[in-house]
Amino acid sequence: MILYNMLIQNRKNLATFLIVSVFIVSGIEGIFDFDGIMRSVVNKKVFSFFPFPTLIGLVALGIKVFGSYYSFSKNKKYKNMAINSLILFIIISNVYFHNPLLYSKPRRRYHESYKALKNFGLIGGLILLKEN
């Protein structure tokens, strides 16, 4: 029985790691290439009204790093907050960065729609993590 519980717990941790690995890698990449995040934010005209684009970049980076970390938490409240923040991050990034309707070239539309669908799959995985 103890071995079975260990296997179940390790399976949950493995599933969590596989789902949030996208955010872990992206967060580490963002730490070392913060200028790249800033270029992405500044290039989006919807964020031009915001007086502190650096703050948007820091919030995005924080959600990726801390959301990934706290998704492993034993505390259900922290785990749910982390997963909710990652889901919200994905929705916002799909609307402003991976929306195929924003691009006129068919090839770019295809790539962005592929990224958006992949992100919806991540949302499904995060929802399943929330339930456990």
101: Cβ contacts below 8 Å, ≥ 6 apart: 109
Instruction: Give residue 84's pLDDT.
Output: 95
| pTM recorded for the entire structure | 0.83
Task: For the chain of 132 residues, list the mean pLDDT of each consecutive stretch of 10.
Answer: 61 85 90 84 68 81 91 90 94 87 85 91 92 72
Instruction: Give residue 45's pLDDT.
Output: 65
Instruction: Give residue 124's pLDDT.
Output: 93
Instruction: Give residue 9's pLDDT.
Output: 66
Instruction: Give residue 5's pLDDT.
Output: 63
What stretch of H or E contains 9? Answer: helix 2-32
In terms of Cα–Cα distance, which of 69, 65, 86, 66 is closest to 128?
86
Helices then strands, each counted (H, E), the chain: 5, 0
Instruction: Give residue 120's pLDDT.
Output: 94
Q: Are the C-beta atoms of 64 and 22 separated by less than 8 Å?
A: no
